[in-house]
Structure 1
Amino acid sequence: MLESSATAPDAHTLAASGQGPAYLPPFAHARLGTMGIELELMVLDRLTHDLLPAAPDILRLLDLQEKRWVATPEITTSMLEVATSILENHQQAAAELEEIRHSVERAAFEVGAVISGGGAHPFQQWSDQRIYPKERYRESARKFGYLAKLFTVFGMHVHIGVPSGDEAVRLCAWLTQRAPLFIALSANSPCWQGENSGFCSARSNVVGAFPMSGTMPSHIRSWEQFQQHFDRLAKLGIVSSIKDFYWDVRPKPEYGTIELRVLDTPLHPSYAAALACYARALCVEASRQPGRWPTNDGPELYTWNRFNAARDGVAGMWIDPETGQRRSIVDVVTADMSRLAPKSDDPGFKTARAQIEELLRNGGQAKWLTAQLDAGYGMNDLARHASELFGQKSSQLPGYAGVK
């Protein structure tokens, strides 16, 4: 969702940048089912396809445009974040993301760069990256040392509007259960620092190094309890704003949303629209069961599901916390699609479902990339092919044998 347009830093902004006291804003109520999408994009050299520290130049060009969406810096200068306006459905999401794709591609071309999706650049070296000259990121570099540059990874965040803080906490718990499915569906970062990582989503392993990663504690059952949890950690000097929680799903009180944070940035924005539509449908479904909470089997089961999704992608297994049944991720997502379709109030759900089922049939985006390695292509080729796919209007992954 859009950042605040206030000209003077407010208490939340100061807290998030480390320049003010800890602050948790009141929960801003939103209409259920509205959504917003954030994408962290790679800025690449047009010739070498290595990361290029040209995000500041691209942002200056984008600032000259009138637009509903926003573009902002990220922690290093080869990263660019774009965030949609408030969206109602899949059709709006797909249209605005296509507008964003076209605009950032054009701005990048003017500075000798290209843009790419993907969760991690295949051969960049973390030590080469430059921290963006913004106080919040300088503070992160002071606080986290080399981890700040190591965090040059690229994720997709989905915001879903909810009507109250209490409901945000409950829906966070439900969406967290299924977060590993989104890791699997979005996984497209099999290579890390020039090596095949053996994981479909190497990016998913990076965030675990940060102190407040993981999931929201299961004992939190209301917004009041969340506030108490925040206040206790703030008094200990552990957190100063909601941004200090690197949870897989977290409430975002200033927007009135919950935020799903586990996805690799898709190789094409149309996949982002489809996956956001899936997340929205799950939240709307859970909201129609007021007062019902998911089963809590402890953190070990979630950690197992998360690990398998990151390693194996859509070919992985998932243990249902409600039944204890071990099922393939393909079967779980396919069943979700069948169950959600007749309930959905989104006229574009059918289109989103078709794209998600295409990912399941083809083995996912990571398989498309690793098939190229198996065919003898190098890391530079992977970066080039990913940027070329982002530059296309169509999201159709070229056939493995047909990649050039």
Structure 2
Amino acid sequence: MLTVGVEEEFLLVDQEGQLCPVGPAVVDEVDPDDTEGEIQRELARAQVESATGICTTAEEIVEQLREMRERLAQEAASSGARLIPSGTPILSENQPPEITPNLRYRRMAKHFGAIASTGSTCGNHVHVAVPDRETAVRVSNHLRPWLPVLLALTANSPFFDGVDTAYASWRHVLWSRWPSAGPPPLFDSLDHYESSVEALLRSEAMLDRAMVYWDVRLSEAHPTLEFRVCDVAATPEEAALVALFSRGLVTRALHDIDDGVPAPRLPQEVLRGNLWRAARDGFGGSVLHPVNGQLVPVRGIVAELLEHVRPVLEASGDVEFAERTLAGLDRNGGGAQRQQAAYARRGDLADVLALLTAESGSA
């Protein structure tokens, strides 16, 4: 059974919902002995990040995510802030978010200008253990067509700068501005992957290897393949569901590789267009089917994904959890849909912020 780990990025806002630059102080106040995972600073001072330890079941993932959300929310509250699981800031800001006082972050801000200073976005990153880097590249090739499905499933950022963007994941649109972001290319080998990274470094489209921002990448710190395509999930349960699906896709890809099944030759421009469609529509819309390329409802293809990875879920005892969480999404809508429904009731973004606070698992 492959192990997984989940990283979540959060916004910190004051009681009115404006970004609150207390991230470094919140991180410093969390006792590392109080959680199984890690709490880390992020690019903007109004952000924090959590990372679980190594997990094997949904129960472990949810427990660790909820515990860290609670600890972060408590420390945020002591600084007059709220922890918000949204892919983008919701309200309009009078000035760009403050950059965390860190040499690397300041260098990034100077080099990339407004890309760094005008887009505080929060994602969900899933690490899945892989045997080696060469295998990880081959697995990445196999699962590329499924990336839009994962994005649509987690889309949770329809509001930005005080308005409805008409996108379910505006985070994806903002994040795509980074020159090293976007869908991973189809690589011929590990050497091809490494030569591409080196070329990006030479062009200074990246300042270091940690800035490989592809939607799936080889981790530089762990023996894992890292999924980076998703918005931060509104709830710990939805974050765990994405982790289970990600592990299932990696496991199925490993079986296909062993069986000699070639990776789909999905053109980069088609994958990029389908990711745009997923960002626009979210869970309530449509994407291209990963196998036949037809435009289909996201709900239907997520149900197919569940069946595709069912053997992996059965092995870890997580079928019931996945079915229950997916049924809740079918009933209540994805994160973006729920945000928009909260706003529609009174036309007040305060209701969106209240919803996110309540759903985060930290309230």
| Separation in 1, partners of 2:245, 2:151 | 13
The alignment status of 1:245 with 2:212, answered yes or no, reads yes
Amino acid at match of 1:241: D
Equivalent position of 2:357 in the other structure: 387
| Separation in 1, partners of 2:202, 2:120 | 30
| Separation in 1, partners of 2:220, 2:128 | 11
Equivalent position of 2:147 in the other structure: 179
TM-score for the superposition, normalised by structure 2:
0.93
The alignment status of 1:340 with 2:340, answered yes or no, reads no
Matches within 5 A, 1:311-330: 311-330=280-299
**Do 2:184 and 2:214's aligned partners in 1 also have CA atoms closer than 8 Å?**
yes
| Separation in 2, partners of 1:198, 1:332 | 22
Shift in Å, 1:325? 2.7
| Separation in 1, partners of 2:20, 2:156 | 20
1:228–1:300 CA distance, 2 compared to 1 (3 A): closer
Query: 1:359 aligns to what SS in structure 2?
Result: helix
Shift in Å, 1:217? 2.1
The alignment status of 1:283 with 2:253, answered yes or no, reads no
Q: CA RMSD in A?
A: 1.9
Shift in Å, 1:141? 0.5
Of 112, 115, 131, the match for 2:99: 131
The alignment status of 1:356 with 2:326, answered yes or no, reads yes
Of 293, 296, 307, the match for 2:262: 293
Shift in Å, 1:264? 1.1
| CA deviations over 1:354-386 (Å, ceiling 9, x no partner) | 212321333212111111222223122211221
Of 125, 128, 138, the match for 1:170: 138
Query: 1:250 aligns to what SS in structure 2?
Result: strand
Equivalent position of 2:185 in the other structure: 217
| Separation in 2, partners of 1:127, 1:386 | 23
Amino acid at match of 2:63: A
Equivalent position of 2:74 in the other structure: 106
| Separation in 1, partners of 2:247, 2:281 | 24
Report which stretch shifted further, 181-190 or 208-217.
208-217
Matches within 5 A, 1:4-403: 33-45=2-14, 47-63=15-31, 65-125=33-93, 127-218=95-186, 220-290=187-257, 291-344=260-313, 345-391=315-361
Query: 2:65 aligns to what SS in structure 1?
Result: helix
Gaps of 5+ in 1: 1-31, 394-404
| Separation in 2, partners of 1:338, 1:62 | 40
1:127–1:176 CA distance, 2 compared to 1 (3 A): farther
Report which stretch shifted further, 95-104 or 320-329.
320-329
Gaps of 5+ in 2: none
Shift in Å, 1:187? 1.0
Amino acid at match of 2:274: N
| CA deviations over 1:31-59 (Å, ceiling 9, x no partner) | x62111110011121x2122211112211
Equivalent position of 1:8 in the other structure: none
Shift in Å, 1:66? 4.0
| Separation in 2, partners of 1:392, 1:377 | 25
Query: 2:327 aligns to what SS in structure 1?
Result: helix
Query: 2:131 aligns to what SS in structure 1?
Result: coil
| Separation in 1, partners of 2:212, 2:253 | 23
Equivalent position of 1:26 in the other structure: none
Amino acid at match of 1:204: H
Q: How many residues align?
A: 360
Shift in Å, 1:235? 4.2
| CA deviations over 1:303-336 (Å, ceiling 9, x no partner) | 2211111111112222235323332211111012
**Do 1:140 and 1:148's aligned partners in 2 also have CA atoms closer than 8 Å?**
yes
Amino acid at match of 2:356: A
Shift in Å, 1:392? 5.2
**Do 2:285 and 2:297's aligned partners in 1 also have CA atoms closer than 8 Å?**
yes
Percent of matched pairs sharing the same residue? 27
TM-score for the superposition, normalised by structure 1:
0.84
| Separation in 2, partners of 1:335, 1:159 | 22
